[in-house]
Structure formats: structure tokens, C-alpha cells
Amino acid sequence: MSLQGKTAVITGSNSGIGLGVARELARAGADVVLNSFTDRDEDHALAAELAREFSVNAQYIQADMSKGADCRSLIEQAGACDILVNNAGIQHVAPIDAFPQDKWDAIIAINMNSNFHTMAAALPGMRASGWGRIVNIASAHGLTASPFKAAYVAAKHGVVGMTKTVALETAEDPITCNAICPGYVLTPLVEAQIPDTMEKYNMGREEVIKKVMLERQPSREFATVEQLGGTTVFLCSDAAAQITGTTLSVDGGWTAL
Ligand code: NAD
């Protein structure tokens, strides 16, 4: 399928799932807008690389998804936003009575509130152009819980609820709004959790991966960023035009348990 002529804005896309999704959208012909809160040469170089590899327009826009005004200005600066992928996210793991308030605030702002601001800013343009796709990268933790992840689980459940609401508000427009719920994907966010988990369980890296991290993922395999990109491209296809307000799990069976 071709997404030629469409512009995709992917929040938090200078690494991990966001970059993987941007690559697959570019491979499908979409112009892409990469984003994160940094403004380094290497961020802009990522966009140049995608433009070269897939012969699409690509730009990198610095905007901090913890700030509502930045979320809205990202959409404005992008010029067009036919496809919005809300992907920026962070994690912090602690029991609720020891959960630092600044971490709670940051997770709720970046993982959930940013979706509100970008969707509010992007929808008028989608309605005007007569086509739009919103894909919110939630999580298996948008459907189930794990201990020590109160802020993350709250934010991701919030994203799933917001996705359904926006789908109903846009149901009569040629716009869809869905959430993808990945299980464990090996990205820098997950990589950063490995040393702590190894220490906590007194296990080596491979043992922690198979026995602890993938314990709830029946396939015992990480999902890949390419698979999440492919799922996003599918949700942007004509075949998915009547899929709206739902969650699509890419979790090796986690939420079937
Ligand atoms: P990652 O750390 O590789 O990527 C996170 C991205 O968000 C980075 O590009 C980072 O720069 C960006 N970001 C962080 N704070 C930001 C801010 N204030 N403003 C703008 N950008 C910001 O992690 P990832 O695993 O690729 O996570 C991407 C998304 O996928 C997150 O929403 C995460 O919750 C979700 N997710 C990940 C997994 C997994 O196993 N990796 C599973 C389920 C859901």
C-alpha cells in the first residue's frame, strides 16, 4: 500500500518504537516528522537518513511532550498531519508509597496528556483534508497491570480510554483512532530496566529476559519495532478504514492469559 502524499507526525521518534514506526511509514511512502525533546545534530541526521533511504520528505522537530504548548506547536510546525502517532513515553518503577511525585507527574504528562494535546491540535486539519489516522502507542499495561508501575499503568489505561472517546467523536469523519498495545519490545526503555531487574532477582541477563521480563509474554519473544511499524501501516491502510476505537495487541499472547 502507498501512503504517498500523507504526512505522519510521530512523537518520541529518535529511538526505539517511534523510530521503527517512522521507518515503516516512510517505507510505505509517507513523509515523516520525527520528534523528541533534544535538538542534536544526530536527531536531524536521522530524518535526513530516512529521506535518503525512502525518497520521502523527512524533518525533525524538537518539542517537549511533557509540555502542552510544545505538543500543540509540534503539530503546527509540521505543516500537515494526516497520520498522528502518539508514541513518546517514559517509565519509572517504584512501589506507590515510594513513587516520586515528579516521576508521577512526568509520566502522566508525557505518556498521557501529550496525546490529548496533539490529538486536539491535529483533528481540525484532518477534518479539513477529509482523511486522518491516529495511532496511539499504549501498552499491554493499558489493558492489564503490573506492580510498581502505577503511573505508567494509569497513563496507558488513560490513553486507551481517550482513544475510544476520540474514535466516537470522529466516528462520522473519515478519521480513525486506535491504540496499539505492545508487550515487551527490546528498545532503550526496556534495556534500561534490565540491570535493576538483574539485581533484584539476582539473575544474569538472559535469565532475567526469559524468566522475568518475558514471563508474561507466552511467545517468550520480544516484539520488534518493525512489527509495530507494520501494524501502524496496516491501521493507516484502506483495509483498516472501519477499525476505530479499538486496541490491537502485539504482545505474544500476554493479554490472552
Ligand atoms: P524509547 O526510550 O526507545 O523511546 C521513547 C521515545 O520517547 C524516545 O524517542 C524519547 O526521546 C522520547 N521522549 C521521551 N521523553 C520525551 C519528551 N518529554 N518529549 C518528546 N519525546 C520524548 O522507548 P520505547 O520502548 O521505544 O517506547 C516508545 C513507546 O512505546 C512508549 O510510549 C512506551 O510506553 C511504549 N511501549 C514500549 C514497550 C516496550 O517494551 N519497549 C512496550 C509497550 C509500550
Kindly report the protein residue whose alpha carbon is nearest to atom 23 of ligand 1: 189
Task: Note the pLDDT tens digit of each residue in 177-198.
Answer: 999 999 999 888 788 889 999 9
Count other C-beta atoms under 10 Å from residue 67's C-beta: 16
Cα–Cα distance, 228 to 137 (Å, whole number): 9
Q: Are residues 96 and 190 in the same domain?
A: no
Cα–Cα distance, 201 to 120 (Å, whole number): 43
Please, which residues bridge with residue 33 across strands?
9, 59
Q: Are residues 167 and 244 in the same domain?
A: yes
Q: Are residues 200 and 159 in the same domain?
A: no
CATH number, domain containing residue 55: 3.40.50.720
Q: Are residues 69 and 170 in the same domain?
A: yes
**Within-domain flag for 257:** no
**Residue 13 CA, closest ligand 1 atom number:** 9
Q: Are residues 134 and 196 in the same domain?
A: no
Q: Are residues 38 and 114 in the same domain?
A: yes
**Within-domain flag for 2:** no
**Which of 61, 87, 115 should be mutated for ligand 1, with most atoms under 8 A from CB?**
87
Type of residue found at 32:
V
Q: Which domain holds residue 204?
A: 186-222
Kindly report the protein residue whose alpha carbon is nearest to atom 33 of ligand 1: 89
Ligand 1 center from residue 38 Cα (angstroms): 14
Overall number of domains in the chain = 2
Q: Are residues 204 and 138 in the same domain?
A: no
Task: Note the pLDDT tens digit of each residue in 35-90.
Answer: 999 999 999 999 999 999 999 999 999 999 999 999 999 999 999 999 999 999 99
Q: Are residues 155 and 198 in the same domain?
A: no
Q: Are residues 194 and 85 in the same domain?
A: no
pTM attached to this predicted model: 0.96
